[in-house]
Amino acid sequence: QKVEWAKLKDEKSVTADGKEFVIGANIGTPKDLDGVTDNGGEGIGLYRTEFLYMDSKELPTEEEQFNAYKAVLEGMDGKTVTVRTMDIGGDKYLPYLPLPKEENPFLGYRAIRISLDRDDIFRTQLRALLRASVYGDLWIMFPMVATLPEFRAARDIFYEEKAKLQAQGTAIADGIKLGIMIEVPAAAVLADKFAQEVDFFSIGTNDLIGYSMAADRGNDKISYLYQPYNPSILRLIKNVIDSAHKYGKFAAMCGEMAGDPIALPILVGMGLDEFSMSATSMLQARSLMKKLNTTEMATLADQALDAETNDEVKALVEQTVLNK
C-alpha cells in the first residue's frame, strides 16, 4: 500500500468525479518541512508556533520568530502557509511565563486569551509574521476564539502593527488572510456571524470534540466520550462549512479528524475545502479521496447527520465506503 500511496506524491487531491480539495500538513517547526515535501503536501494548514516558545528558555525574539516564519514560507515555495498564533496554556506550559494556577486550565487562561491580555507578546509575534509575509503566501489564524469581539480585537492589533511597519517603510505582502480556529462550540454555532468577518476557518476538532462532549480525551475513564463521528459534532462541522461557503469563505480542518479515513468521506460529502493533517497521513488520505464520488458522499454525509450515535455513523461509513 505504501508503494501505491508514494505514486500519488505529485498528484492532485481529487475525487473520482473530479472535485479538487487541498491536502495540507500540520507542522511544529521548520524542520518538519522535509516530511511535507516528501509526502506531497499542498500547503501548511497548521503551523503550531507554540513550539518556538516551548523550545526556548525565554520569549523568542522578533528576529528569531521572523527567521522561523521566513524559513517555512520560503520552504513552501509559494504554497499557502497557515500560521497559528501562540496557543499556550491548557497543557502547554512555559517555564519563563508563569501562568496563574487554575482549577480548570483547559477552560482558563490560554491561547488568544493570553495574546489579548499580554499584547506585548502578541504584537512581537505579529510583527515577525508581517515582516516574513513577503516570502510566501501567509495566512494567520487565532486559536481558541470564542467571541466576535475577541476576533475583532486580535484583527485590530494586527492592523495596528501592520500600519506601524508600513510607516517605517517595511515591505509587507498584500493579501495576508486572517482567520480563526473553530475549537470552541460557541464559535461553531455562531459561524455564520464569524464568516462575515474572517477570511477563513480552520476547524480544530481535537479541542472542539473535547469541549462539545465535555470530556477530556486524556482521561481513560471517559475516553468513550471522545466521539468524532457523533452526529452532534458532525452538525457543528456542517454549520461551519456551510456558513463559510455562504459568504464565499474558505473552510479548512486541522484537527486529527481531517486525516481519519472514517471521517474523510463524510467531510468530502460536506464540501470541506482543505484537510490538514500530520505529513505521514497525507498520501493515504489522497489515495482514499481518489476513490470517492462527491454525490455519493453528499448522500452519506446527510445520512450521517441524521444518525443517532457515533457507532452508527462509523458502521455506515465502513459498510458503504471502506469495505465496499
Q: How far is the CB of 147 from Mg ion (least distance, A)?
A: 17
Does 207 carry a binding-site annotation? Answer: yes
Q: How far is the CB of 113 from ligand PEP (least distance, A)?
A: 14
Does 10 carry a binding-site annotation? Answer: no
Report which of 76, 99, 21, 88 is spatially closest to residue 48, judged by C-alpha positions. 88
Contacted by 277, from Mg ion, ligand PEP, none: CB < 5 to 8 Å by type: none
Joined together, the cell numbers standing for residue 34 give: 522535509
Active-site residue, selected from the candidate residues 112, 138, 181, 254 = 254
Q: How far is the CB of 320 from ligand PEP (least distance, A)?
A: 26
Contacted by 48, from Mg ion, ligand PEP, none: CB < 5 to 8 Å by type: ligand PEP
**Binding residue for Mg ion (CB under 5 A) from 50, 137, 199, 207?**
207
Cα end-to-end span (Å), the chain: 17
Contacted by 271, from Mg ion, ligand PEP, none: CB < 5 to 8 Å by type: none
Q: Residue 256's Cα: distance from chain center in Å?
A: 10
Which residue lies nearer to ligand PEP by CB, 48 or 286? 48
Q: How far is the CB of 204 from Mg ion (least distance, A)?
A: 4
Site string for Mg ion, 175-204 (x = CB under 5 A): --------x--------------------x
Does 39 carry a binding-site annotation? Answer: no
Closest residue to Mg ion, based on beta-carbon distance: 207
CB-count exposure of residue 56 (10 Å: 0-12, 13-18, 19+): middle
What is the bridge-based pairing of β-strands 20-27 and 13-14?
Answer: antiparallel
Which residue lies nearer to ligand PEP by CB, 110 or 238? 110
Contacted by 286, from Mg ion, ligand PEP, none: CB < 5 to 8 Å by type: none
Residue ranges that bind ligand PEP, judged by CB under 6 A:
46, 48, 87, 183, 204-207, 254-255
Does 206 carry a binding-site annotation? Answer: yes
Contacted by 147, from ligand PEP, Mg ion, none: CB < 5 to 8 Å by type: none
Does 55 carry a binding-site annotation? Answer: no
Q: How far is the CB of 32 from ligand PEP (least distance, A)?
A: 14
Joined together, the cell numbers standing for residue 132 give: 516574513
Active site residue 107: no
Q: Give the active site residues.
A: 254
Binding site for Mg ion (CB under 5 A): 183, 204, 207
Which residue positions form the known binding site for Mg(2+)?
183, 207
Which residue ranges make up the annotated binding site for phosphoenolpyruvate? Answer: 48, 84, 206-207, 217
